[in-house]
Amino acid sequence: MNDIRPIRATSGTNQEGASAHNRRVIVDALRLNGPLSRADLARATRLTKQTVSNIIEELEQDGLVASGAVVRKGRGQPSTPYELVPAGAFAIGLQIDRHLARAIAVDLVGSVHVHVEAKLPAGGPSSGVEVVLALVDNARRQLQLVFPQSEDRLVGLGLAMPGPFGLKQEGDDPWMMAAWQAFPLLETLSAGTGLAVSLQNDAAAAATAERIVGAAHGLDHAVCLYLGYGLGAGLIINGELYNGANGNAGEIGMALLGGPDRYTALEHRASLASLYQHLTLDAADPALRDTIDRLAMDRDVRLLSWVEEAAANLRWSVHLIETLFDPETVILCGGAPKALGECLIKAMEPLLTSIADRPDRRLPRLQLGLTDPWSVALGAAAAPIGQTFDPRFSAIWKMSK
């Protein structure tokens, strides 16, 4: 009886002119599954053994793949496993929020090697952008101390910040970052760092982090309900992050409630900003997260009154998400401490009846995801790695027959 290991991989193509896509397919398969032999890779990607061998040789020469010890199983031919070289590529992930910025440096397999953060001045990008550039430079210098070759293998800078992007904004809405939105941030960061810069909203970055190390790992259909200063949703559809036509997909916090005389944005009722207002806390206080954590663990009456109202609105959000996207699960994640997340999950039960009420469910309809304040920066760092190495369904590929 053959013991064939199940392997997650995207199909390659043996058509001419598709070598770049096939390289991405091989890298992606090794990143998803760990060490694989050439025969494993050929079987999983449906590429010819010769094509796989050629690509493996190229990747070895480029310092992206290395061979392991020969494996002998039974009477068959011995096989050589291949795996990614973590130091084959690096990326910087940057999160810019209203009062602080965080930067991390990751390697090809997503391991984090540097964490740095800085408080942002009140003047917005006019003074804050220099702080951000210094923060990125600090992360690169620290990375280079550990990996002297890292500068030559740095593939880009991933930026995550609150959306929505490209809208005309009037007034001083505390839920928006109007000054940063209007600032030529991508151009400034690219010029100041010499790196290619990609942008996504913080909810999308949080969803990417969930795919890497969180509750969405291995899932093809999931929605991450991101509770930050505002409220957003990161959409994982058919195994890929969906950003929408303008990078604003998932801005559920802007959904309007109430009416007809008065409408209120959902995030004005269910977000960390609404909690800070409810408790009259300073959003710029560096000890704010610890304060919220303590209040949640102590079951503070004022905090619980906010939880009750926020949970009612988040319960409706889950119902809407399930109806629109039919995900395998909805994941509540974000910058809130774990104790607060657990309070919200408990208060949201029972969920509203929806199409997700299936007798064959494998996963819970709602679960708590990452509550790590660095998760957005991690998701941001994954963007340049993915853009460089991940296969896309929009690329050349062939359907199973």
Cα–Cα dist 254/268, whole Å: 9
The reply to whether 19-84 and 88-204+378-388 are identical in fold is no
- Give the mean model confidence (pLDDT) for residues 109-115: 94
Nearest to 270 by CA among 201, 334, 186: 334
Cα–Cα dist 378/205, whole Å: 7
Q: Can you list the alpha helix ranges (DSSP code H) found in 173-247?
A: 178-182, 185-193, 202-213
Output the average pLDDT for the chain.
89
Superfamily name with CATH number, domain 88-204+378-388: ATPase, nucleotide binding domain (3.30.420.40)
Cis peptide bond upstream of 162, omega within 30: no
CATH of 19-84, one of 3.30.530.20, 3.40.50.80, 1.10.10.10, 2.40.50.140: 1.10.10.10
Structure tokens at 182: 């209007």
The β-bridge partners of 116 are 103
Neighbours of 187 (CB within 10 A): 10
The domain segmentation of the chain, as residue ranges, is 19-84, 88-204+378-388, 217-369
Cα–Cα dist 202/379, whole Å: 8
Q: Is the dihedral of CA 47, 49, 50, 56 positive or negative?
A: positive
Number of residues that make up the chain:
401
Model confidence at 332, pLDDT cuts 50, 70, 90, reads: very high
pLDDT digits (tens, 9 = 90+) for 258-314: 877 789 999 999 999 999 999 999 998 999 999 999 999 999 999 999 999 999 999
HEC readout, 274-315: HHHHHHCCCCCCCCHHHHHHHHHHCCCHHHHHHHHHHHHHHH
At what angle are helices 301-325 and 288-297 packed, to 10 degrees?
100
Q: What Rg, from alpha-carbon coordinates, does the chain have?
A: 23
pLDDT for 376 beyond 70: yes
What are the E-state strand segments in 139-258?
154-161, 197-201, 222-227, 231-237, 240-242, 256-258
pLDDT digits (tens, 9 = 90+) for 34-49: 899 999 999 988 899 9
CATH architecture of 217-369: 2-Layer Sandwich (3.30)
pLDDT digits (tens, 9 = 90+) for 192-224: 999 999 999 999 999 999 998 999 988 999 999
Structure tokens at 310: 């926020």
pLDDT digits (tens, 9 = 90+) for 139-198: 999 999 999 999 999 999 999 999 888 887 665 566 678 889 889 999 999 999 999 999
